[in-house]
Amino acid sequence: MKWTTANLKNPSFTANHEIYVGTKTGTFKKLLPAYEQNPFKQTNLQNLQELDTDSQITALGFSNENKSEILIGRAKSMAQVHSVRTDQIQYTIDFEESPIVGLARFENRVVAGFGNGHMRCLALNEEGDIDADQPKLILDKVGDHMDHLRQCPSNPNIVAIGGKGRQNNLKVFDMAVEGKQLFSSKNLPNDYLQLEVPVWDSDVGFFDSPHTLATCSRYGYVRVYDTRKQRRPVQCYSTEDQMSFTTLAANGNYIYTGTTTGAMKAFDIRRMKTFVHTYKGFTGGISDVYLDATGKFLASACLDRYVRIHHVDSCVLMYQCYVKSKATRILIRESMENPNGDDEEQELEESDNKKKNKSNKKKPSEVVSEDEEYEDMFENMQTICDNEVDGAGDDQADNDSNTDSAENDTSESKAKAGSKRKTSLKSGKNKKKKN
């Protein structure tokens, strides 16, 4: 599709989605593409007066299976839990470290990863406060730099982290067993100059199994790991173009990645020599990607201040909306409500009113007699210019009499003329006889 800066929606995009967007300025927004009246309407779910310079949203994630709560991590030490049903912040968690680069939740515990490489696991009570009776779990030996923390969807207690440098490569932890390290990746062999291959795992993603993971790098590689087989990657993609990958999402046999140059690629783990799909329409670096529950639509947040939804198989741009700020994180879920419910109710009411009006219309055969008082009022009203009309009637009568007299005069004159003519004829005949 040709590049455009306009808000657009493909007519074939009929999925009922809710999109949640975090921005660099700290605003947290909600979009409803299925809303027919205004599919590009944005709702700010965060009080703008509470935002400051450290309010940038750096992590977003659902905290339960039904996706009714959202964990919001910012560049400061405060994390928030947002309720999807009420569209309000339920409670706030203070981790005493910043910035937060990833959040996860299992049972009553919340796990946070920080940019300095540390991890914290806190237990919460029913009210959302930190439970002082249970000890805090602090892991400060996982590295000195962390770019992202991801939670395993099938096993919520398992998390994976990745960062810059060989000591910050891919690691997997089981937070239910006091942060036990389950896996640590191993770098590729040295290059032909016997130099160490640089490592920078900018993002991590789980497949359907907790044993299969994928990482992408700012150094232009995408790697697939199987923790049951070996520490080194089982599949790898790299290119001389040095594409700088920033984020990824894994599903089935495919990996969807975004780059700093505005390119979004899809890879098939069964043949990693090249990418299989390219998604277009971007003009800035892609900061986050997220797949919906069906795996058919791929949502992306971009630094050009747009959020987009592409169809996974056809690569068609289904939705594009300008969010006024640089989008850093994005989530998408199936909406449980119909955003056009009020409009449909209004249409039904209007149609019912039209039907009632049609039924109330009088048919010709069913004409009701007029009100007697109303009829009598018109009969007793004085006629306008009665005198003039009567005078005109008298004049008309005089004219009629005059015309009658005139007709009589003409008939009498005709009779006299005829008699004179007869007498003259007779007198002429008598003269001829005498002669």
> In Å, what is the CA distance from 103 to each residue of 79, 172, 193, 407?
9, 15, 40, 120
Quickly state the pLDDT bin for 425 (edges 50, 70, 90): very low
Q: What is the pLDDT of residue 1?
A: 46
Q: What is the pLDDT of residue 412?
A: 52
- pLDDT for the residue numbered 255: 96
Rounded CA separation 68/381 (Å) = 76
Q: Residues 75-85: what's their mean pLDDT?
A: 91
* Percentage with pLDDT > 90 across the chain: 56
Q: Assess whether pLDDT exceeds 70 at residue 123.
A: yes
| 300 conformational bin, left if phi > 0, alpha if psi -120 to 50, beta if neither | beta
Token representation of residue 361:
């219309």
Residue carrying structure tokens 């810059």: 164
Question: CATH classification of 8-61+142-337 is 2.130.10.10, yes or no?
Answer: yes
Lowest mean pLDDT among 40-49, 101-110, 233-242, 424-433: 424-433
Question: How confident is residue 432, by pLDDT bands cut at 50, 70 and 90?
Answer: very low
Query: What does the pLDDT read at residue 125?
Result: 83
pLDDT over 70, % of the chain: 77
CA dihedral over 94, 95, 100, 103, signed as positive or negative: negative
The C-alpha R_g of the chain, in whole angstroms, comes to: 46
Could you give the maximum distance between any two Cα atoms of the chain, in Å? Answer: 175
- The total number of residues shown for the chain amounts to 435
pLDDT, mean of residues 103-109: 91
Output the pLDDT for position 372: 63
Mean pLDDT over 96-125 rounds to 91
Mean predicted lDDT score pLDDT of the chain: 82
Residue 217: the pLDDT is 94
What per-residue confidence (pLDDT) applies to 54?
A: 84
The CA distances from residue 12 to 314, 316, 320, in Å, are 12, 10, 14
| Each residue's pLDDT tens digit, 256-298 | 999 999 999 999 999 888 999 999 999 999 999 999 999 999 9
Please tell me the predicted confidence (pLDDT) of residue 388: 47
Confidence at residue 242, expressed as pLDDT on a 0 to 100 scale: 73
Q: What is the pLDDT of residue 369?
A: 47
Which pair of structure tokens corresponds to residue 183? 């896996």
Q: What digits encode the pLDDT tens for the residues 374-407?
A: 566 666 776 665 444 444 444 554 445 444 554 4
| Confidence label for 141 from pLDDT (cuts 50, 70 and 90) | confident
Find the range with the poorest average confidence among 231-245, 267-281, 334-348, 413-427.
Answer: 413-427
DSSP letters spanning 142-163: S-S---EEEE-SSSTTEEEEE-
Q: How confident is the model at residue 240 (pLDDT cuts 50, 70, 90)?
A: confident
